[in-house]
Chain A
Amino acid sequence: MPIFRLLLGLPLGLVLVGAVAYPSLILVWHAFARDGRPTLANLAAVLHDADIWRVLWNSVHVSVWATLLGGAIGTGLAFLVARTDLPGQRIFRTALMLPYLIPPFIAALAWLALAGPVGFVNQLWMAVTGVEEPLFRIYGAPGIILVMALAHYPLAYFTVLASLERMDPALEEAARSSGASPARTARDVTLPLVAPAIGAGAILVFLRCMENFGIPAILGFPAKYFVLTTKIYATILDFDRAHNLGLAATLSLLLVAVAAAILALQRRILGGRAYGLTRAVGQPPIFSLGEWRRTVGIGVTVFLLVTSVAPLLAILLTALTRAYGMPFGWSNLGLQNFHTLFFKVPVVWRAMGNSLVLAASAATFAVVLAILIAYVQVRTRARGKGLLEALVILPFAVPGTVVALAMILAFLRPVLGLSLYNTIWIILVAYVARFLTLAVKPVAAAFTQVHVSLEEAARSSGASLSRSVRDITMPLIRSALVSGWFLAAVPAITELTLSVLLWSAGNETIGVMVFNMHEEGKVLLSSALAVVVMAVALTSNLLLRRLTSGLAEA
């Protein structure tokens, strides 16, 4: 027994202490210390800086508006899809996934191509009206809010849709048969029942907006408009400023505090309001759109074309443009940017290789660890399970920028003779920590479903432990392992927030390449590479969906 425990605990402890607990503590230490001595100087400097308060306000401002906008869009679409006779339901259900599959920073670049100062919309506007001023400016708060809302509304949509589909239709039928009109049923029965889901969806959107780095980096920097994540990024890179890392650590804690406060609020509001939602048996009553059916159908189609298809087309056209600034036309289109990218910039290939190897390795480590964690959580009565769970969730619950800073602070200098900084390993460690929880979820769920009596039956029939694991447990959790692997790998392939702070010469990721090219003003090249990343993201997501489609809630 002790050896078994040691072998189970050692790798787990090593990873969770080394990749999560230690960096977290170092981050907190740096927030409250200068030159190795505890002090509140960083906190005082942050709290006395009017600039910081404005940045904090910016973060809350864009996130609240994006949540209201994205929450409304997601909730409205979920109602239309699940409770009305909207035409083309099947197509809409798939199409509404699209924005969820595109990494937010790629979405920001696509919107820049469509609606930026010289994007296609403004060019058309200026050409048609002869006005010299663009129709609207995408840099700054309004653009950030718009793109954040459109990038994250699927979270609200999924949450509300799931709730609508799980609702017991008997409740709504009872209202209808008692004489309530469809509108009254929706208002007095359906809406209150899904209210917790609407709230939960909104919280998800809000947290994603608060922690997002790519959108405010791409649409905020040109307007000198900072939010907390981009301010932390800029502070880490500003070595002219004394104690910049300590200040960045303090800002990180501020960002985490805001996110935690929102989560606590959610618990308070939604606590005890989980209604008896069961898996739906039978059809819920459908609200007929009547004569509006066509109009609403066209409206949703136009919405999807404008918000999902147009930006992607715009960035594709930009990627195919030969000379920037020349009027749009067939003669100005060609594959030359892709040619430059693949044949003259060798680092692109290496970055792609790095991203794939990192994603695959991080996912593999995560799945192996997930088995150990699920085993401990489900099958043992080990003490400290709460702590274990907290350490697994923490790196995903806090913003990626904070995780990256913790890694820098922890590993800038060699630890126990191991030098991680400036190597690909620091990115791998960060990825494993960040995406571990995604792999743990399906694996733990599978372990729960495999009742221990099955293994015991095998053991009492004379099978060895390894045989019972091989013949009983593994086949039952295999599909969970596969989906866990993909759930961790897919977001890692196009990751930006962590790697943009942790990359080094030779260890660049594909997300970093797109971001750096954009930063350098290489619009055509960055657009071409963004199109490549988009293709990779869509393919890997479709693969993920295909592989996990048989698993409920994976």
Chain B
Amino acid sequence: MRQPMEGTKLMGLLLAGLWVLGVMAAGAVEVSAAAPVTLYTSESLDKVNEMKLDFEKRNPGVTLNIYRSGTQVVISKLQAEFQAGGTLADMIWMADIDYFEDLVRKDLLAAYTPPEADKAPAKFKYEGGRYHEVRLIFNTVAYNTLRVKTRPSSWKDLTDPQFKGKVGVASPFYSGAAFSTLGTQVNMPGFGWDFYRKLKGNAVIVEQSNGTVAKKLATGEFSVVSVVDFMVREAKAAGSPVDHIWPKEGAILVPTPVGILKGAKNPEGARAFLRYLYSTEGQRLFVQQGYVPVLPGIEGPKGVPAEKLEVVLTDQAYIGKHREELKAKYRELFELK
């Protein structure tokens, strides 16, 4: 190295190369200039992506980015980010209403009620519009039509000995829907923890997610299950040998609200997405996807009785207060880790 300048040149070239590459990578990755709307959700991945496509088509210039995982994983990520000084999420949408309550107490949710939302039943607008139920999901009893000869009629059919070892439920530690169901059933007359002990006696299998439960019902691994309604209708529509009932005690409403976070990077975009979810187009897409719409006047999906649905509303105050106790008891009963 008698000529340091030469070396300098070479290294300069290398550094320039590095820089150009970096810019190229950044350019390739970040296509749109405007801040995207970021949604953290436990919604079904393909369904929420279908919504994204439709929403972006109707709102040119707005990009919706989605972080999708199980409710507990999404909450963990949010918690980690709050602790580290701020989250990327503009809005959240998942099956754990309790967590929304927690965010309200911490004053982290921004109130916004789209005009259309006032047509929906008032009970689905929570905390003065800080979060909303945009379509309705119910936990019901479903069965495999190839394996079960007599159509079940009640939640108690899950404890019928003829299905021993062939009964599946989702884990309340992973699925918000399963947790709402647990918190509701322990207070239903004639049910309580006794019902869960009987389930255990019937060798119930606790799966992580509702998706897995629905899948294993379709394949016949399970004969009867407790699962969210739309997944069963979806599988049935695709041709799988499954159907769900409306239990005579009532299907259990599973709150899966949407809310906008204070400090959202694109609050206007987030409000536009909430407006879209409440719009006629949004509600119709929900119906297409198999959900029960929240707006009156929109025709529901096939296989859902139009009126007089027996519905058990979840008692959020109870669930919120007894969260840890419910989980601990369940963990102990089913010897889960």
Residue positions of A touching B, CB distance < 8 A: 1, 3-4, 7-8, 11, 51, 117-118, 221-222, 224, 237-240, 245, 322-326, 332, 340, 344-347, 353-354, 357, 361, 364-365, 368, 371-372, 412-414, 421-422, 424, 428, 464-466, 469, 504-507, 516-517, 519-523, 525
In the complex the two chains form, what is the Cα distance from A326 to B238 in whole Å? Answer: 10
> How many angstroms between the C-alpha atoms of A347 and B81 in the bound complex?
23
Which B residues are in CB contact (< 8 Å) with A322?
Answer: 238-239
Interface membership of B53, Cβ < 8 A? yes
- Contacts A325-B218, A506-B36, A521-B213 known; list 20 others, CB within 8 Å: A3-B4, A3-B7, A11-B18, A118-B221, A224-B337, A237-B76, A238-B76, A245-B80, A324-B240, A325-B144, A326-B240, A344-B49, A347-B45, A424-B29, A465-B6, A466-B10, A505-B40, A516-B45, A516-B69, A523-B215
Query: CA separation between A542 and B80, bound complex, in Å?
Result: 41
Q: Are B50 and A521 in contact (CB under 8 A)?
A: no
* Contacting residues, chain A, for B210 (C-beta < 8 A): 521
Whether A117 contacts B4 by the Cβ 8 Å rule is: no
Q: How far is the CB of B296 from chain A (nearest CB, A)?
A: 29
The answer to whether B241 and A325 have CB atoms under 8 Å apart is yes
Contacting residues, chain B, for A464 (C-beta < 8 A): 3, 6
B28 and chain A: residue at smallest CB distance: A357
From B18, which residue of chain A is reached at the shortest CB distance? A368
Is A368 a contact partner of B215 (Cβ separation < 8 A)?
no
Residue of chain A at shortest CB distance from B145: A325
Per-position contact with A for B214-242: 1 when CB-CB < 8 Å, else 0?
Answer: 11111111000000000000010011111
Contact A222 B207 (CB under 8 A): yes
Contacts A221-B208, A365-B18, A466-B9 hold; do A324 and B76 have CB atoms under 8 A apart? no
Beta-carbon contact of A466 and B53 below 8 Å? no
What are the residues of chain B within 8 A of A353 when measuring CB–CB?
28
Q: Are A237 and B73 in contact (CB under 8 A)?
A: yes
Q: Which of B137-161 contact A (CB under 8 A)?
A: 144
Q: What are 9 residue pairs bridging A and B, where the CB atoms are less than 8 Å apart in the complex?
A: A326-B239, A345-B46, A345-B50, A365-B21, A465-B3, A505-B36, A506-B38, A507-B29, A519-B69
Near A by CB (< 8 A), chain B positions 279-337 give 336-337
Identity of the chain B residue whose Cβ is nearest the Cβ of A503 in the assembled complex? B67
Q: Kindly list chain A residues whose C-beta atoms are within 8 Å of the C-beta of B15.
A: 7, 11
**Contact A239/B29 with A322-B238, A347-B49, A413-B85 known, Cβ cut-off 8 Å:** no
Assess whether B190 is interfacial by the CB under 8 Å rule: no
CB proximity of A188 to chain B, nearest CB, Å: 51
Q: CA of A465 to CA of B1 in the docked complex: distance in angstroms?
A: 8
| B33 part of interface (Cβ distance < 8 Å) | no
CA distance A268 to B332 in the complex (A): 46
Which of B28, B29, B68 has the largest count of A CB atoms less than 10 A from its CB? B29
Please give the distance in Å from B232's CB to the nearest CB on chain A. 12
Q: Do A519 and B209 touch (CB < 8 A)?
A: yes
Instruction: Mark out the residues of chain B between 4 and 41 whose CB falls within 8 Å of any chain A CB in the assembled complex.
Output: 4, 6-12, 14-15, 17-18, 21, 24-25, 28-29, 36, 38-40
Q: Is B79 an interface residue (CB 8 A)?
A: yes
Q: Which residues of B contact A4 (CB under 8 A)?
A: 1, 4, 7-8, 11
Task: Identify the B interface with A (CB < 8 A).
Answer: 1, 3-4, 6-12, 14-15, 17-18, 21, 24-25, 28-29, 36, 38-40, 44-46, 49-50, 52-53, 65-70, 72-73, 75-77, 79-81, 84-85, 88-89, 144, 207-221, 235, 238-242, 336-337
Q: Does B218 lie within 8 Å of A1, measured CB to CB?
A: no
Using A11-B18, A424-B29, A466-B10 as known contacts, say yes or no to A1 and B45 having CB atoms under 8 A apart: no
Decide if B80 touches A428 in the complex (CB within 8 Å).
no
Given contacts A4-B1, A365-B21, A521-B209, A347 and B66 within 8 Å (CB-CB) = yes
Q: Which of B17, B52, B76, B214 contacts A521 (CB 8 A)?
A: B214
Residue ID in chain A nearest B39 by CB atoms: A505
CA gap between A227 and B81 in the complex, in Å: 27
Q: Which residue of chain B is the closest to A353 with respect to CB atoms?
A: B28
Docked Cα-Cα span, A345 to B88, in Å, equals 22
Which chain B positions have C-beta within 8 A of A507? 29
Known pairs A222-B208, A346-B53; A8 contacts B11 (CB<8 A):
yes
Contacts of B235 in A (CB 8 A): 323-325
- The residue of chain B having its C-beta at the shortest distance from the C-beta of A344 within the complex is B50
A539 to B283, CA, bound (A): 43
Find chain A residues with CB under 8 A from B69 CB: 516, 519
Q: Which residues of A contact B36 (CB under 8 A)?
A: 505-506
> Cβ of A118 and Cβ of B238 under 8 Å apart?
no
The distance in angstroms between the C-alpha atoms of A346 and B192, with both chains bound, is: 44
| Closest residue of A by beta carbon distance from B11 | A7
Is A239 within 8 A of B18, CB to CB?
A: no
CB-defined contacts of B3 to chain A, threshold 8 Å: 464-465
Minimum C-beta distance from A391 to chain B (A): 18
Q: With A4-B11, A361-B21 in contact, is A346–B52 under 8 Å at CB?
A: yes
CA of A323 to CA of B220, assembled, Å: 13
Q: How far is the CA of A523 from the CA of B25 in the complex (A)?
A: 33
Q: Given A357-B28, A517-B45, A520-B45 in contact, is the A422-B50 Cβ separation under 8 Å?
A: no
The CA of A413 and the CA of B207, in the complex, are separated in Å by 35
Contact residues in B for A516 (Cβ distance below 8 Å):
45, 68-69
Nearest-neighbour CB distance to chain A for B289, whole angstroms, equals: 11
Please give, as numbers and ranges, the residues of chain B lying within 8 Å of A517 by CB-CB distance.
Answer: 45
Known: A361-B25, A421-B84, A466-B10. A237 touches B72 (CB 8 A): yes
Measured in the bound complex, the distance between the Cα atoms of B168 and A118 in whole Å is 15
* Cβ of B145 to closest chain A Cβ, rounded Å: 10
Bound together, the chains give a CA A240 to CA B331 distance in angstroms of 15
Residues of B within 8 A of A413 (CB): 84-85
Closest CB in chain B relative to A287 CB, distance in Å = 47
Give A3 Cβ to nearest chain B Cβ, in Å.
5
Of the residues B49, B72, B76, B241, contact of A345 by C-beta under 8 Å? B49
Residues in B neighbouring A361, C-beta threshold 8 A? 21, 24-25
CB atoms of B211 and A522 under 8 A apart? yes
